[in-house]
């Protein structure tokens, strides 16, 4: 109030004082003047500012995508795509726990090169386009400040960047879900059949990218019904949307029958919708009636979602209540004539995806919590949080931008990545090159290499120099492949990585089923990928291995040699 009164006084005395310097003005008036100038600049150069943020996000993703070796999941996806024919690619895609779109895209994309950066480029491009489309959707439905905060979050938060700089399905999922939302709004606002068709195409591509898109499709149907009630679509638009829902249902049924059911058979009839996913690091993301209180599960896992999305535990704990505040603000908001799409129902609609995902976890159908499998919820968490920040900053774009940048800087500098995770320093491509060179020069081709499943996938990519290589299964429980005259015996997916609990049984099974492994023959044990600790645990827990000569290439690649028969009595680990 004092600042405004001072400005009025200065204005009334303009005739006696033709010029008033900024130094003579009260501090509050000076700050308001500078803020007004910045707001005016943002309004006049909005497109330029948005383009700057999007390009910066693209360059950041490009930098993250270069210089590191493929992780086991990335190697698995490329192996499925790296075949001589589309038909063989389809057959291999049946064994992956995701829909096939990425694999088919990679089969085509190989023509442009097979370096890590080139292979990750589709994800980088998709992740960048997601930022732009998502910003457009938020700007159409919320305030300009909220849209700016949302753009900065999706462009620079560590999980959003990292998932779109890897050879994974998530960037495709996000860009197609954002496209489905944006073009649905545009179709209903402009009464456009072709825009509705684009929205449906985006929905179909999202379903073919990741199974969590089924949860999104359920939400989008409700969102569309709400929007249809407040619109006056033509019969053609309404028929197009209705027919499109049948198509989405058909794709979902196809994926269930052909892909998910097949995986269930491959995993010995375990729960068709999650059996293979409910491993150590996802176990807490499924509700266990004998272990979990349902209310505590919902609260803790929801908090975990925000901790994951912001890549920093304390920051996630702060954003959770801001999300709730944003929802309350939206529910209590009055209609804005300049934003006809904003209604109190938007607040409820932003909560619905959390309810749907949580219900799926309670039913044991899909994980819910602080993992990448719930990254889709970023599209609904971030707008509500941005509404809160916009309210706190009094809808000042400059202040909201500064607040958002502070959040992403803290998250990047003091982040706590969720498992599974390889630090960038240990994922340096130089370590992989050194390990492959060691195998080529120090391991005789007559000595077999024994690897867990994730190491076998990575060896199949790097030791075979990106050539299409079949994985033979002559003996149940093991995979065999030949790379540069080396014989690699790997475990199947049920033994994803060696631990002291599973290594000794698999070693004894290896000797029992491979008659050529006689006493005195060397066997080289290779571990690559996430959470590898076998060599270190053997040395520290068991007296048989005090002098195990382990070669480390960073902290996520180890190679050591065992001699058949030297340890006659392997310990039984309880």
Band the pLDDT of 336: cuts 50, 70, 90. Answer: low
Give mean pLDDT, residues 459-468.
92
35 versus 146: the higher-pLDDT residue is 146
Q: How confident is the model at residue 13 (pLDDT cuts 50, 70, 90)?
A: very low
Distance CA 44, CA 228 (A): 34
Whether 352 is in a domain gets the answer yes
Q: What are the contacts of 258-263 at 24+ separation with CB within 8 A?
A: 258/94, 259/93, 259/94, 259/99, 259/100, 260/211, 262/94, 262/95, 263/94, 263/95, 263/97
Residues 452 and 406 in one domain: no
Same domain, 342 and 304: yes
Q: Tell me what pLDDT residue 45 has.
A: 77
Instruction: Please identify which residue in the block is written with the tokens 């989008």.
Output: 220
**What's residue 519's pLDDT?**
83
Query: Going by DSSP bridges, is the β-strand pair 551-552/449-451 parallel, antiparallel, or unpaired?
Result: unpaired
The least confident of 69-73, 529-533, 562-566 is 562-566
Shared domain for 254 and 377, answered yes or no, is: yes
545-564: per-residue pLDDT in tens? 667 889 999 999 999 998 88
Alpha carbons 240 and 238: distance in angstroms, whole number:
5
Higher-scoring residue by pLDDT: 101, 3: 101
Does the residue 192 lie in any domain?
Answer: yes
Could you tell me the pLDDT band of residue 380, with boundaries at 50, 70 and 90?
Answer: very high
On whether both 181 and 261 belong to a single domain, the answer is: yes
Q: Does residue 271 carry a pLDDT above 80?
A: no
Identify the CA nearest to 367 among candidates 358, 355, 376. 358
Strands 522-528 and 557-563, bridge-based pairing:
antiparallel
Section 136-154 average pLDDT: 95
Whole-number Å distance between alpha carbons of 179 and 136: 10
Residue 574 has pLDDT above 80, yes or no: no
Are 408 and 436 in the same domain? no
Domain that holds residue 404: 43-413
For the segment 57-83, the average pLDDT, to the nearest whole number, is: 95
Q: How far apart are CA 386 and CA 54, in angstroms?
A: 18
For the record, the structure tokens of 146 come out as 């909220």
pLDDT at 78 > cutoff 60: yes
Answering whether pTM is above 0.75, one says: yes
Is the pLDDT at 476 greater than 70? The verdict is yes
Using the predicted structure, report yes or no on whether residue 141 has a pLDDT greater than 80: yes
Provide mean pLDDT across the span 512-524.
Answer: 86
Residue 319 lies in a domain: yes
CB 111 within 8 Å of CB 86: no
Say yes or no to pLDDT of 573 above 70: no
Mean pLDDT, rounded, for 511-538: 89
Q: Does 395 lie in the same domain as 506? A: no
In a domain, 12, yes or no: no
Task: Report pLDDT for 26.
Answer: 58
Nearest to 188 by CA among 224, 242, 135: 224
Looking at the structure of the chain, the number of domains it has is 2
Indicate whether 134 pLDDT > 90: yes
**Residue 283 pLDDT class (50, 70, 90 cuts):** confident
CA distance 288 to 283: 9
Given 369, 391, 413, the domain boundary residue is: 413
Q: Which two tokens stand for residue 546?
A: 């005090």
Least confident of 200-209, 287-296, 349-358, 376-385: 287-296
Domain boundary among 384, 413, 442: 413
Q: 385 and 445, same structural domain?
A: no
408 and 464 inside one domain: no
What pLDDT, on a 0 to 100 scale, did the predictor assign at position 325? 96
Q: Within a domain: residue 445?
A: yes
pLDDT of residue 33: 65
Q: Looking at the structure, do residues 370 and 477 belong to the same domain, yes or no?
A: no
- Residue 571 in domain: no
Q: Are residues 393 and 438 in the same domain?
A: no
Q: What is the mean pLDDT of residues 141-154?
A: 95
Least confident of 13-27, 256-270, 325-339, 368-382: 13-27
Q: Are 451 and 527 in contact (CB under 8 A)?
A: yes
Mean pLDDT for 257-276 is 63
pLDDT > 70: percent of the chain: 87
Local structure of 345: helix, strand or coil: helix
Which domain-ending residue is among 382, 413, 444?
Answer: 413
Residues 211 and 315 in one domain: yes
Residues 90 and 205 in one domain: yes
What pLDDT shows up at residue 3? Answer: 40
Lowest mean pLDDT among 413-417, 504-508, 543-547, 557-561: 543-547
Residue 157: is its pLDDT beyond 50? yes
Q: In terms of C-beta density within 10 A (0-12 exposed, 13-18 middle, 19 or more buried), how is residue 563 classed?
A: exposed
Kindly state whether residue 56 falls inside one of the protein's structural domains. Answer: yes
pLDDT band at 11 (very low <50, low <70, confident <90, very high): very low
Of 60-64, 217-221, 331-335, 446-450, give the lowest mean pLDDT range. 331-335
Predicted confidence (pLDDT) at residue 399 exceeds the cutoff of 60: yes
| pLDDT the model gives residue 358 | 94
Strand partners, 450: 489, 525
For position 470, what pLDDT does the model report? 80
Q: Would you state the pLDDT for residue 28? A: 56
- Beta-carbon neighbour count of residue 347 at 10 Å? 20
User: What does pLDDT average to over the chain?
Assistant: 87
Q: Please report whether residue 257 resides in a domain.
A: yes
pLDDT higher than 50, residue 14: no
């Amino acid at each position: 109030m004092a600042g405004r009164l001072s400005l009025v006084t200065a204005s009334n005395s303009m005739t006696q004082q033709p010029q008033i310097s900024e130094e003579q003005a009260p501090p509050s008036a000076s700050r308001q003047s500078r803020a007004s100038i910045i707001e005016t600049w943002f309004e006049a150069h909005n497109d330029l500012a948005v383009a700057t943020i999007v390009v910066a996000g693209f360059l950041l993703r490009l930098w993250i995508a270069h210089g590191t070796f493929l992780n086991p999941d990335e190697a698995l996806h490329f192996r499925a795509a790296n075949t001589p024919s589309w038909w063989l690619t389809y057959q291999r895609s049946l064994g992956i726990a995701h829909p096939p779109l990425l694999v088919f895209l990679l089969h085509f994309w190989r023509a442009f090169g097979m370096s890590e950066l080139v292979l990750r480029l589709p994800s980088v491009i998709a992740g960048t386009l997601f930022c732009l489309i998502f910003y457009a959707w938020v700007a159409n439905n919320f305030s300009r400040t909220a849209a700016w905060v949302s753009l900065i979050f999706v462009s620079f938060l560590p999980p959003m960047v990292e998932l779109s700089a890897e050879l994974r399905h998530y960037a495709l999922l996000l860009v197609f879900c954002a496209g489905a939302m944006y073009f649905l709004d545009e179709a209903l606002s402009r009464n456009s059949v072709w825009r509705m068709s684009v929205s449906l195409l985006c929905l179909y591509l999202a379903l073919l990218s990741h199974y969590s898109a089924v949860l999104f499709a359920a939400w989008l149907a409700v969102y569309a019904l709400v929007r249809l009630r407040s619109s006056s679509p033509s019969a053609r638009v309404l028929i197009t949307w209705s027919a499109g829902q049948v198509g989405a249902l058909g794709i979902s049924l196809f994926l269930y029958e052909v892909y998910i059911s097949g995986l269930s058979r491959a995993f010995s009839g375990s729960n068709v919708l999650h059996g293979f996913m409910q491993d150590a690091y996802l176990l807490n993301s499924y509700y266990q009636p004998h272990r979990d209180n349902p209310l505590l599960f919902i609260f803790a896992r929801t908090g975990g979602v925000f901790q994951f999305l912001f890549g920093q535990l304390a920051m996630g704990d702060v954003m959770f209540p801001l999300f709730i505040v944003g929802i309350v603000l939206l529910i209590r908001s009055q209609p804005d004539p300049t934003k006809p799409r904003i209604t109190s129902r938007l607040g409820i609609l932003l909560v619905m995806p959390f309810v749907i995902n949580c219900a799926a976890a309670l039913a044991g159908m899909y994980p819910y919590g602080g993992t990448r499998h719930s990254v889709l919820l970023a599209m609904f968490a971030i707008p509500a949080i941005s509404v809160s920040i916009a309210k706190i900053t009094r809808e000042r774009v400059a202040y909201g931008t500064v607040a958002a940048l502070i959040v992403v800087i803290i998250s990047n500098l003091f982040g706590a990545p969720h498992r599974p995770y390889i630090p960038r320093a240990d994922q340096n491509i130089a370590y992989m090159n050194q390990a492959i060179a060691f195998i080529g020069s120090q391991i005789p081709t007559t000595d077999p290499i024994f690897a867990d499943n994730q190491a076998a996938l990575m060896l199949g990519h790097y030791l075979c120099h990106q050539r299409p290589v079949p994985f033979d299964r002559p003996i149940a429980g093991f995979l065999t492949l030949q790379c540069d005259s080396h014989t690699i015996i790997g475990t199947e997916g049920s033994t994803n990585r060696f631990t002291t609990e599973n290594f000794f049984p698999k070693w004894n099974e290896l000797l029992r089923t491979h008659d050529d492994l006689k006493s005195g023959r060397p066997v080289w044990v290779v571990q690559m990928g996430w959470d590898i600790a076998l060599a270190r645990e053997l040395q520290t827990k068991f007296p048989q291995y005090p002098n195990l000569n382990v070669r480390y290439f960073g902290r996520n690649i180890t190679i050591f040699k065992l001699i058949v028969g030297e340890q006659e009595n392997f310990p039984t680990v309880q």
